[in-house]
A and B are shown apart, each in its own frame.
Chain A
Amino acid sequence: MKKQIYKSLLFSIPIFLFISYITIVDPYEFINLVHIISADKKLKVLNRNDESGPRGNLLWKLVHYKRNPVENVLFGDSQCRAIEESQLDSLTGEDWFNFCIPGASYETIFDNFWFCAEKVKLKKVYMEVSFMNYNGFRSYNISNLGTDYMDKPYLYFARKEILFDSWINMRYAISGNQYLVINSHELAPAYEMDILANERMDLFFESYEYPDSIFAGLTEIANYCDHNNIELVFIIMPTYKALGTHLREIGLWEPYMRFKRDIASLGKLIDYDSGLTISEERQNFTDFFHPRKYLLDEITDEIWGEKPLREGVKTHGF
Chain B
Amino acid sequence: MLFNSFYYFLFLGMLLVIYYAVQYRFRNLILLLASLFFIGYIAPQLIIFTLLFSVLNYFTGLGLVAIKTKQKRKRLFWFAVYLDIGILAFYKYINFIFENINVVLGLFPSQPEIPYLSIIIPVGISYYTFQALGYIIRINRGSEQPEKNFIKFALYLTFFPKFLAGPVERSNHFFPQLQKPILFNSENLSAGGRLFLWGLFKKVVIGNNLAAPVMTVYGDVHEYSGFPLLMVFIVQVIHLYCDFSGYTDMALGSARLFGINLADNFNRPFFAKNVGEFWRRWHMSLSSWCNDFIFSPFIVKYRKMGQKAAIIGIFLTFFVIGIWHGANWTFVVLGILQGIAISYEFYTKRKRIQIASKLPAKFVTFTSRLITFVFFCFTLVFFNSQNISDAAYFITHLFSNFELKMTGHGLVYEKLNFGIALAAFLVLFIIEYYQEKGVDLAKWFLNRSRIIRWSGYYLLIIMIYYFSSSDSTFVYLKF
Given the known interface contacts A11-B454, A14-B458, A160-B465, the answer about A154 and B6 at a Cβ–Cβ threshold of 8 Å is yes
Which residues of the other chain, A, contact B20 by a CB distance below 8 angstroms? 1
Interface contact B458-A158, CB-CB below 8 Å: no
CA gap between A152 and B472 in the complex, in Å: 16
Which of B189, B454, B457, B466 sits near A4, CB closer than 8 Å? Answer: B189
Interface contact A160-B458, CB-CB below 8 Å: no
- Known A1-B184, A4-B189, A160-B465; 16 more pairs at CB < 8 Å: A1-B20, A1-B186, A3-B186, A4-B184, A4-B186, A11-B454, A11-B457, A14-B458, A152-B6, A154-B6, A155-B6, A158-B6, A158-B465, A158-B468, A160-B466, A160-B468
Closest B residue by C-beta to A1: B184
Which residues of the other chain, B, contact A152 by a CB distance below 8 angstroms? 6
Closest B residue by C-beta to A8: B189
CA gap between A152 and B189 in the complex, in Å: 28
Closest A residue by C-beta to B9: A154
Interface size on A, residues (CB 8 A): 10
CA gap between A154 and B7 in the complex, in Å: 10
CA gap between A4 and B193 in the complex, in Å: 12
Which residues of the other chain, B, contact A11 by a CB distance below 8 angstroms? 454, 457
Closest B residue by C-beta to A4: B186
CA gap between A158 and B20 in the complex, in Å: 28
Residues of A within 8 A of B (CB): 1, 3-4, 11, 14, 152, 154-155, 158, 160
Tell me the dominant secondary structure on chain B's binding face.
helix
Proximity bits, B219-256, A CB within 8 Å = 1, else 0: 00000000000000000000000000000000000000
CA gap between A152 and B10 in the complex, in Å: 13
B7 to chain A, nearest CB (A): 9
Which residues of the other chain, B, contact A4 by a CB distance below 8 angstroms? 184, 186, 189
CA gap between A158 and B465 in the complex, in Å: 7
Nearest 9 A/B pairs, CB to CB: A4-B186, A154-B6, A1-B184, A160-B466, A4-B189, A11-B454, A160-B465, A14-B458, A158-B6
A52 to chain B, nearest CB (A): 17
Which residues of the other chain, A, contact B458 by a CB distance below 8 angstroms? 14
A87 to chain B, nearest CB (A): 38
A135 to chain B, nearest CB (A): 22
In chain B, positions 447-479 with a C-beta closer than 8 Å to chain A are 454, 457-458, 465-466, 468
17 contacts between A and B (CB under 8 A): A1-B20, A1-B184, A1-B186, A4-B184, A4-B186, A4-B189, A11-B454, A11-B457, A14-B458, A152-B6, A154-B6, A155-B6, A158-B465, A158-B468, A160-B465, A160-B466, A160-B468
Q: Which of A4, A14, A155 has the most CB of B within 10 A?
A: A4
A266 to chain B, nearest CB (A): 35
Which residues of the other chain, A, contact B466 by a CB distance below 8 angstroms? 160
B362 to chain A, nearest CB (A): 43
CA gap between A14 and B459 in the complex, in Å: 12
A81 to chain B, nearest CB (A): 26
Closest B residue by C-beta to A159: B468
A162 to chain B, nearest CB (A): 11
Closest A residue by C-beta to B20: A1
Closest A residue by C-beta to B465: A160
CA gap between A14 and B457 in the complex, in Å: 12
CA gap between A233 and B56 in the complex, in Å: 66
Which residues of the other chain, B, contact A158 by a CB distance below 8 angstroms? 6, 465, 468
